[in-house]
Amino acid sequence: MTGPVLAPDGTALDQVRLRGLRAHGRHGVLPHERAHGQPFLADVVLHLDTRAAAATDDLAATVSYADVAADVVAVLAGPPVDLLETLAQRVADTALGRPGVHAVDVTVRKPHAPLTVAFDDVAVRVRRHARPVALTRRPAAPVPAVLALGGNLGDPAAALRAAVAALRTAAGVTVTAVSPLVRTAPVLAPGQPRQPDYLNAVVLLATTLAPVELLDLAHVLEDAAGRTRAERWGPRTLDVDVVSVADLVVADPGLTLPHPRAHARAFVLVPWAAADPAAVLRGPRGGPVAELAAAVADQDVAPVAADWAGPGEG
């Protein structure tokens, strides 16, 4: 995280550094931290191109570090959160909201953390990049999108059915088709314990939401089903992946479109092809979904039910 951040043309971006921003906050998991609070400090490095400002000597051509400093202090003193990780993300988000900031490094410090051993400091450091405009811009008219649903804990059929019902009433979303329900074997990391089989389905949408808003909606559906994220590829009550939005091909740490593993996942391709036999997966490893599904036919996918999502199915 110490290396340079590159501009789209490949040149290294400049930096504006703010060190030792501080405020009294009430962040933490312990009751006395919320009741009495303690000092929090933040160091912020903005990655941006300062050449236009240097040439014009115009503040409007750069980022006002005074405004950024005020924003960061407001976050430190603002609504309490449990984790330094969350606080660092909120600081990063406010910095990235400034036009021209391509990335930000944030270090949040908690010098009076409630440890039982001698220490100098506790800090969380993160680097976050601004998302591409294509991911944050709402389309002018509804565009097609594909969500993949799965679950293998509790009552996954009920969780998937509830997710489809919620999508049907969500603002900015119209469900156009729901695939058959299939049963699939779990994808396990090396050495990972066995899990129950998954139930999977694909939902086709028309949406006026920005891709990041659609991702937020997916997370809302997961949270409503009691999803926890303690283990990668671990069992879950509900998993909702944004597979594709319109014809976007975008690589971003927060949301890559199309989904970077969709081309090899039978539990996505098989139900998707059933819902839309003419579907095409965009991107360098894409192609007709039916052909991609046939290429991974050795993966275990068993049909469960065609009419499973309840009234109103597209």
Confidence at residue 9, expressed as pLDDT on a 0 to 100 scale: 75
Q: Are residues 125 and 163 in the same domain?
A: no
Containing structural domain, residue 189: 136-305
Q: Are residues 90 and 216 in the same domain?
A: no
Q: Are residues 140 and 126 in the same domain?
A: no
Average pLDDT, integer, range 220-234: 79
Confidence at residue 193, expressed as pLDDT on a 0 to 100 scale: 77
- Active-site option among 27, 110, 236, 259: 110
> What secondary structure letter does DSSP report for 250?
B
- Among residues 79, 105, 130, which one ends one of the domains? 130
- Per-residue pLDDT tens digits for 246-277: 999 998 878 999 999 999 999 999 999 999 99
Confidence at residue 297, expressed as pLDDT on a 0 to 100 scale: 82
Confidence at residue 233, expressed as pLDDT on a 0 to 100 scale: 62
> Domain of 192: which CATH number?
3.30.70.560
Confidence at residue 247, expressed as pLDDT on a 0 to 100 scale: 95
Average pLDDT, integer, range 159-170: 97
Average pLDDT, integer, range 74-85: 96
Structure tokens at 70: 């005020």
Q: Which of 183-187, 225-229, 234-238 has the lowest mean pLDDT?
A: 225-229
Confidence at residue 294, expressed as pLDDT on a 0 to 100 scale: 95
- Among residues 130, 158, 178, which one ends one of the domains? 130
Average pLDDT, integer, range 103-128: 96
Closest to 40 (Cα-Cα) out of 92, 91, 126, 111: 111
pLDDT at position 313 over 60 = no
Confidence at residue 232, expressed as pLDDT on a 0 to 100 scale: 63
* Orientation angle between helical segments 211-224 and 156-169, nearest 10 degrees: 140
Confidence at residue 231, expressed as pLDDT on a 0 to 100 scale: 61
Question: What rounded mean pLDDT belongs to the chain?
Answer: 93
Average pLDDT, integer, range 62-70: 97
- Among residues 67, 96, 130, which one ends one of the domains? 130
Grade residue 94 by pLDDT with cuts at 50, 70 and 90. very high
pLDDT at position 2 over 70 = no
Query: How many domains, the chain?
Result: 2
Q: Which of 28-37, 104-113, 128-137, 138-147 has the lowest mean pLDDT?
A: 128-137
Confidence at residue 186, expressed as pLDDT on a 0 to 100 scale: 86
- d(C-alpha 81, C-alpha 57), whole Å: 39
Q: Which amino acid, 119? A: F
Q: Are residues 45 and 108 in the same domain?
A: yes
Structure tokens at 20: 């030792």
pLDDT at position 88 over 70 = yes
Q: Are residues 107 and 153 in the same domain?
A: no
pLDDT at position 81 over 80 = yes
- Per-residue pLDDT tens digits for 7-19: 877 789 999 999 9
Closest to 29 (Cα-Cα) out of 73, 66, 64, 81: 81
pTM: 0.71
Q: Are residues 25 and 47 in the same domain?
A: yes
> At a CB cut-off of 8 Å and minimum separation 6, what does 167 contact?
147, 173, 175, 203, 205, 217, 221
pLDDT at position 150 over 90 = yes
**Is 235 part of the annotated catalytic residue set?**
no
In a domain? residue 237: yes
pLDDT at position 208 over 70 = yes
Q: Are residues 217 and 189 in the same domain?
A: yes
